[in-house]
Amino acid sequence: MSRKLSAGYYYDNDKIDVCKFHKHDGSLSYDGSIVLGNDENYAAFTHYTSWINNRKAYTATMQFGPTSLTPEGTRIIGPSVWLLDVESRTAKKVIGTAKHVNDGGVYRSASDLAVVGSKLYIAEEDSIDDNFGDDGYVSVFDIRDIDNPVFLKRFKPGDELPTDFSVTHSLIVTPDGRYIYADSYASNYIIKIDTQRDQVVKVFNKSDHGLIMPHAGFISGTIR
């Protein structure tokens, strides 16, 4: 049975909806939801999911704290990565919130994520806290053990990324998995990263390449 996952892209939405995909006519039917936590303690505001295999996937969250929609007495789990099991309808937090830029967690709102071989890449965008677009990062984790990701590095503005880079919004992987492109609509950059060496190999910008708000690109031959 094929399934579709739908992220909850709004404040305090702590659910990932699961739908069955019916191959004979292409229709979908709702098949339950996966909650990221519980009624008193949950993570919220997801943007994308990334499948690991036919049963499990990762999702990542963006919300830092309570809003006017948050029930009184409820704690919001900050930006984090969750391992989803579509068979058991369960979610397990596998990466928590980073306390500082060099900490091995999710430092800014996790807008996108991509599984490439045995590694997980996370697009971290500074978009829904008090100040918009101060910075943006790409973090990398070893996921040979999918239940226990290990932090490898974080690409930072002024350190591999351009100094004025901000808001890493989406990640696009080439069909062979060799390269990943990180885009920023806020600072008009697309960054090409070599996934074997985890190094930036090309920077595309507005002045040299005419970029205007690059946002959620796509490479033919890939499956999103």
Give mean pLDDT, residues 184-201.
97
- Structural domain boundaries in the chain: 1-97, 100-224
The pTM for the full model equals 0.95
Half-sphere exposure of 50 (CA within 13 A, CB side): 25
What is the share, in percent, of the chain residues with pLDDT greater than 70? 99
* Mean pLDDT across 110-138: 94
By the 8 A CB rule, do 77 and 64 touch?
Answer: no
Residue 20 to residue 27: CA distance in whole angstroms: 8
pLDDT at 142 > cutoff 70: yes
- Residue bearing tokens 């950059």: 189
Rounded Cα–Cα distance for residues 212 and 206 (Å): 6
The least confident of 16-25, 74-83, 187-196 is 16-25
The token pair at 88 is 């058991």
- CATH numeric code, 100-224: 2.130.10.10
**CB of 63 closer than 8 Å to CB of 44:** yes
- The answer to whether residue 1 scores a pLDDT higher than 70 is no
Mean pLDDT of 58-67: 97
Q: Which amino acid is at 156?
A: K
Q: How many Cβ atoms sit within 10 Å of the Cβ of residue 145? A: 10
pLDDT of residue 78: 97
What average pLDDT does the chain have? 95
pLDDT reading at 180 higher than 70: yes
Q: Is the pLDDT of residue 219 over 90?
A: no
Q: Are 34 and 15 in contact (CB under 8 A)?
A: yes
pLDDT at 195 over 90: yes
CB atoms under 10 Å from CB of 7, counted, come to 18
Radius of gyration from C-alpha coordinates of the chain: 17
User: Is the pLDDT higher at 211 or at 141?
Assistant: 141
Whole-angstrom CA distances from 209 to 62, 115, 163 are 30, 28, 18
